[in-house]
Each structure stands twice: as C-alpha cells, then as structure tokens.
Amino acid sequence: MAYRSTERTERHRAARSAALIDAGLGLVAEGGFSAATIARVADRAGVSTGTVYTYFPDKTALTAAIFDRAAGIELEVVRAAVAFGTDARFETPADQRLDALVRVFGARALRGRTLAMALLFEAADVGVERERLLFRRAYTETVAEVLADGVAEGTLSTERIDLLAPAIVGALGEAFIRPLSPAAGGRSEADTSEVLDSLAAACLRLAGFASRERSGLLSRSRESRTP
C-alpha cells in the first residue's frame, strides 16, 4: 500500500509540474519569457504562487523547464523531418534532408514568431541560457549527422564537419533575426516561401552541396505554390 501511495503521489506531482510548465509555455508563446512571471503562471494554472514554489524553487528553475519543454518539441519535429538517428534517413539524399531541416525549422518559427523570438534571442536568466546552449548543441549534432551522411554518399567532400555543422546552425539562427522581428510585420504565404527558399539555398551552398544538381528542389517548391 505504501508503494502504491508513493506512486500515486509521484504521478500527481509530475502532472502538476507539467501543468505549470504548460501554463508558462502558453504565456511565453504570447509574450516571451518576460510574460511568464511566477504570479502569472500561477494564475494561468489556477493555483497559488506558493504552489508554484512547491514545484520550482525560483523563476530561473521554472523558465528553464519551460524552455526545455518548448525547445524539446521543436527539436523533435526537426529531427523527425530528417529521420535523425534512424535507418530511414538513408532513403533520402543528404541535401534533401538539409533542405527539409531548414524549411521545417523556418516554417515553424515564422508561424510562432513570439515563441521563436523567445527561444532564439530573448535575453533571459542563466537557466534559459544554459538550456539554449544545450539545444544549440543538439541542433548541431543533427546537422552533423546529415553532413556525415552526405560525405558517406559522396555528395560532400568536407572533412571538417566539426566546424561546418555549428556554422550552419549559427547562420540559420542569425538569419531569422530580421524575419521574426516585430518590424517585419505579417508575412504572406509567398513571402514566407521566399524566405525559406533563400535560407535553404544558402545553407545548401554553405554545406557544399551547391555543385551538385539537387533534383530541382527549389523549382519544385515554386511549382507547388503555382495555382
């Protein structure tokens, strides 16, 4: 009985913690990390501020958990798009997988601009900065696998993947500062497609795929938008 009671208690604690993180994530998606105060998270979750402190000792711990949840979702989607770590990735040429990575990452960022700005650029506390570094490394690992597969299939000749992968991740992140800024305003579907086409082409060239005929990736993308 004691074991079952402990198990129920832990499940309840995990569920309450997840609910608080979800409440905080909703606030960040609406107004950035500055909007996810302890008081507002408590109000959104329908609990007292004291309850929040029961699960998170301070705002740093809470915002780090919110970042981990949000960034984890985005990373999972991107990795699924390139079949990261699975044998299924060998079914698609590496250049097409890098193209897909850029487009999936970019499309989601442009659809959820406030959340993307918060995850990528918003000045935040040390907990968020630490998580941001960890996820940057995870994206670098993802790109590195794609590039290594390109070398293995003979479409890339680079041997400095350790330098090239973080360069692509860094360039991709920096490239979204302007498209995501409030000054950019709302983007039409055509504008969004142009941004993604340009960034995908730039990342492919940076990787070293520019000399290869890429099966008309960009032309097919444009044709798909033709009424």
Contact (Cβ atoms closer than 8 angstroms) between residue 207 and residue 109: no
- Asked whether the beta carbons of 38 and 53 are under 8 A apart, the reply is yes
d(CA 84, CA 79): 5
Confidence of residue 210 (pLDDT cuts 50, 70, 90): low
Lowest mean pLDDT among 8-12, 19-23, 36-40, 195-199: 8-12
- The CATH number for 1-57, chosen from 1.10.645.10, 3.30.1330.30, 1.10.10.10, 1.10.10.60, is 1.10.10.60
pLDDT at 224: 43
Query: Which residue, 54, 77, 75, 165, is CA-closest to 120?
Result: 75
Joined tokens for residue 5: 């009671």
Task: Considering the domain delimited by 63-224, tell me its CATH architecture.
Answer: Orthogonal Bundle (1.10)
Residue type, 142: T
Per-residue pLDDT tens over the stretch 48-104: 999 999 999 999 999 999 999 999 999 999 999 999 999 999 999 999 999 999 999
Judge whether residue 216 has pLDDT over 70. Answer: no
Q: Which of 170, 117, 109 is nearest to 140 (CA)?
A: 170
Residues of the chain with CATH 1.10.357.10: 63-224
- The distance of Cα 98 from the centroid of its chain, to the nearest Å, equals 15
Cβ neighbourhood burial of 11 (10 Å; 0-12, 13-18, 19+): exposed
128-156: average pLDDT: 96
**Please, which pLDDT band fits residue 5 given cuts at 50, 70 and 90?**
low
Q: How many residues does the chain have?
A: 227
User: What pLDDT is attached to residue 191?
Assistant: 85
User: Are residues 94 and 147 in contact, defined by beta-carbon separation less than 8 angstroms?
Assistant: yes
Closest CA to 100 of 77, 118, 133: 77
Task: Note the pLDDT of residue 12.
Answer: 83
Give every CB contact of residue 203 below 8 A, 6+ residues apart in sequence: 98, 99, 102, 168, 171, 172
Mean pLDDT of 202-225: 62
Structure tokens at 72: 């984890």
3-class state of residue 159 by DSSP: coil
What are the tens digits of pLDDT across the range 145-196?
A: 999 999 999 999 877 999 999 999 999 999 998 888 876 666 667 788 999 9
Q: What percent of the chain has pLDDT over 70?
A: 87
Provide CATH 1.10.10.60 ranges for the chain: 1-57
Answer yes or no: is pLDDT of 30 > 90.
yes
Q: Is 18 helix (H, G, I), strand (E, B) or coil?
A: helix
Given a cut of 90, whether residue 135 has pLDDT beyond it is yes
Report the interhelical angle of 94-111 vs 189-207 (nearest 10°): 140
**For residue 173, what are the CA distances in angstroms to 168, 183, 203?**
9, 18, 11
